[in-house]
Amino acid sequence: MTIQNILDRKGSKVFTIRPTATVKNAVDQMRERGVAALVVKSGDAIAGIVSERDVVSAISRFGEHALSMAVKDVLTLTIITIAPGDSIRRAMNLMTRYRVRQLPVIADGRLAGIVSVGDIVKQRLDDLETESNVLRDVYIAAH
């Protein structure tokens, strides 16, 4: 299974925000859209990712003033990306190694989607269920 399989199932819609938007605006968008992170874009360039974790960290450091700060001042600058043809195993390894929960998917130098740890877990559970059903059917057919 590849990252493209996940994008085919969930879609390639990515919610983005400008670096100059406020953290409050980012939090509102995350809540309204039911997502845990937004890709921060300046034009076509990815500037980073702002996640719930970044917001909590900013509030811990700056108090409620963090909500009026610009997203660019609290975002995660290290961007770990993945390609559509990469395996789910590679995504799991990257997420574990870099302790990230979202991976932007880059195809031909452009943002093609985003996968989260929840997407990866769902795909793995679906794969395991399919494998279990096949093994059960083979076992039944053999007896």
CATH of the domain at 16: 3.10.580.10
pLDDT (tens digit per residue) in 103-122: 999 999 999 999 999 999 99
The larger pLDDT score, comparing residue 140 to residue 15, is at: 15
What average pLDDT does the structure give for the chain?
Answer: 92
Cα(48)–Cα(39) distance, rounded to whole angstroms?
Answer: 6
Cα(121)–Cα(106) distance, rounded to whole angstroms?
Answer: 20
pTM: 0.84
Domain that holds residue 91: 3-142
The larger pLDDT score, comparing residue 61 to residue 136, is at: 61
Cα(137)–Cα(128) distance, rounded to whole angstroms?
Answer: 14
Scanning the structure block, which residue is given the tokens 């819609």?
Answer: 13
Phi, psi (degrees; rounded to nearest 5) at 138: -65, -45
Kindly indicate the confidence band of residue 126, based on its pLDDT and cuts at 50, 70 and 90: confident
Total number of domains constituting the chain: 1
| 115 in Cβ contact with 2 (< 8 Å) | no
| 37 in Cβ contact with 12 (< 8 Å) | no
pLDDT (tens digit per residue) in 61-108: 999 999 999 999 999 888 899 999 999 999 999 999 999 999 999 999
CB neighbours (10 Å) of residue 80?
Answer: 16
Helix (H) / strand (E) element for 110: namely: strand 110-116
